[in-house]
Amino acid sequence: MTIAYDVTSGAARRSRVVGIVRRDFYALRGNGGRLLEIFFWPVLELVIWGFVSVFLRANNVPIAVSMLLGAVLLWQVVGRAQGELAAMFLHDVWSRNLLNVFVSPTSLAEFLTGHVIFGAGLIALSTGVMSGLALLLYGFGITTIGPALVPYLTLLVVMGWGLGVVSIAVVIRFGESTQSVAWVLSAAFQPFAAVFYPVGVLPPVAQAIAHAVPASYVFEGLRGVLDGRGIDWSGVAMAALLDLILVAGALAFIAHALRHARRTGRLSKFGE
Amino acid sequence: MNVLTVTGLRKRFGSVVAVDGVSFSVGAGEVVGLLGPNGAGKTTTLHMVFGLTTPDSGTVEMFGHDMAHERSRALARANFAASYLHLPHMLRVGEILTVYAQLYALRRPAARVAEMLELLELGPLRRQPFSRLSSGQQTRVLLAKALLNDPGLLVLDEPTANLDPDIADRIRGLLVEQAATSGRAMLITSHNMREVERMCHRVHFVSGGRIVATGSADELAGAYGVDDLEAVFLAVARGGVPT
């Protein structure tokens, strides 16, 4: 009996995915600053928007606290999903470990799956903490959104992961100097995601872009649900279709980026 | 039986031909050196062997698996360490080895990690983050990682660069012993000719992307009419030819 499972067996694939998850867990545990960062920005945003909504309500501006806080809570999911996926990849780049992973039998799919699983845990944790704070500080319970919360969260997480894969692919394709893309990509989509305002207030060109962004259907739907209009299933279906296109495109892009990096020798540069 | 067969590898980066028709093989239990001056194409060749760089032409077969189509199968039985690669800085030594034991899908990862910690004398460092280790300690961890899956082929790119002579000698001793006891094949690049003389059964000299001389250290010294491998290196680097 060899000391390892057959490389194509289910046990070997599970082992490699668990290895990536374990690596992410150890890396986070060993970096207190990053742990703080995961909660700092979303909590700061929650606190600021919470007080803004309280102020507006006190001045008789007709706005629902639940809409602002619900939007803040849900939007952080996109940023967290994208940012964490990119950060976990960049940690391997910064520590000159990436080539060690690529000379192991770990496939790109296993590598991404491991990061995605760990990222899902982080999203659940940060969303849980923020939801608790929103309830504690402003009396807003995330369950107010009702059953729509499940499809909405899923659609936003998948969008974040799609963007996360795109940001990794950009760094692989164009080199380390483009890593700032990892920090700004989800934010670049925020104006078109209709997080705090309806798509209708955007100029026509921006509206056209917004209609191609899955999150815009989620936030339009969220406002409808909180207004008591029920779930807009056609919006959910449209967002799901756009998510599917985004993820398929992102996977095709990262596969292309990796082929290009191998052909041009750029992948080897990640070891320097 | 060859564990590695490289045939006609060629790689061009822009106008520079980095590797120009390199062919060689490594037999089971054989320790082969790939030598040459900086920029000769050694590292590019090793990276093509592991599929990190795609060759413009040529093939790499590892344990009978074509690297272009059966990469995972081949990589499961090989390993690689290089002086320019590190491991995750924040992770502790024991954690790093546990992670890699899982990436190589070992059946008993904890037991194998314990074996490697003992073999490389890393036990007292197992709770230390990689970033806090000295260069010599980091090299030992990299070697522990490279030996985890008991590879049939171990490829080392300048394994003792940046190490003091004492630590470098210990690591050479360990690698020679490992090769002798396990029957493991090794492919090594190094600028330390004494290291190569001590470790390698056969040496390929690379210059300008081509293999320009092949043989044992003694055969090469004889062919170039010099005393040792260092003199062969200088002769090759300065464009000399066998006498």
The range of the structural domain enclosing residue A156 comes to 10-269
Is there a contact between A97 and B54 if contact means CB atoms under 8 Å apart? no
**CB B40 within 8 Å of CB B16:** no
Region of poorest pLDDT, from A49-58, B60-69, B83-92, B215-224: A49-58
Average pLDDT for A146-161: 94
Is there a contact between A7 and B76 if contact means CB atoms under 8 Å apart? yes
Task: Count CB neighbours of B158 within 10 A.
Answer: 18
Q: Of the candidates A12, A20, A95, which has its C-beta nearest B105's C-beta? A: A12
**CB A79 within 8 Å of CB A161:** no
Output the pLDDT for position A1. 58
The DSSP element (H or E) to which B7 belongs, if any, is strand B2-13
Does A210 or A183 have the greater pLDDT score? A210
Region of poorest pLDDT, from A35-44, A146-155, A157-166, B111-120: A35-44
Distance from CA of A45 to the nearest CA of B (A): 29
- Residue A169 banded pLDDT, cuts 50, 70, 90: very high
Chain B residues 63-92 with a CB less than 8 Å from chain A: 71-73, 75-76, 78-80, 82, 84-92
Whether ipTM > 0.90 holds is: yes
Chain B residues 38-57 with a CB less than 8 Å from chain A: 43-44, 47, 50-54
Output the pLDDT for position A43. 85
For residue B85, what are its two tokens?
């690669």
Inter-chain Cβ pairs, chain A and chain B, closer than 8 A = 140
Residues of B in contact with A262 (CB under 8 A): 51-54
- Residue B44 banded pLDDT, cuts 50, 70, 90: very high
Residues of B in contact with A269 (CB under 8 A): none
**Per-residue pLDDT tens for A29-39?**
888 787 787 88
**Residue B226: pLDDT above 70?**
yes
Residues of B in contact with A7 (CB under 8 A): 72-73, 76, 105
Output the pLDDT for position A63. 62
Domain presence at residue A3: no
**Residue B242: pLDDT above 80?**
no
Is there a contact between A26 and B73 if contact means CB atoms under 8 Å apart? no
Torsion of CA A98, A99, A103, A105, to 10 degrees: 10
**Per-residue pLDDT tens for A178-197?**
999 988 999 999 999 999 99
Max mean pLDDT among A206-220, A224-238, B228-242 falls in: A206-220
Output the pLDDT for position B168. 87
Rounded distance, CA A41 to CA A53, Å?
Answer: 18
Rounded distance, CA B76 to CA A8, Å?
Answer: 10
Residue with token string 């936003």: A156
Mean residue pLDDT across chain A: 91
Number of domains forming the structure of chain A = 1
Query: Of 3.40.50.300, 3.40.50.12780, 3.20.20.70, 3.60.60.10, which CATH number belongs to B1-77+185-243?
Result: 3.40.50.300
**Per-residue pLDDT tens for B4-37?**
999 999 999 999 999 999 999 999 999 999 999 9
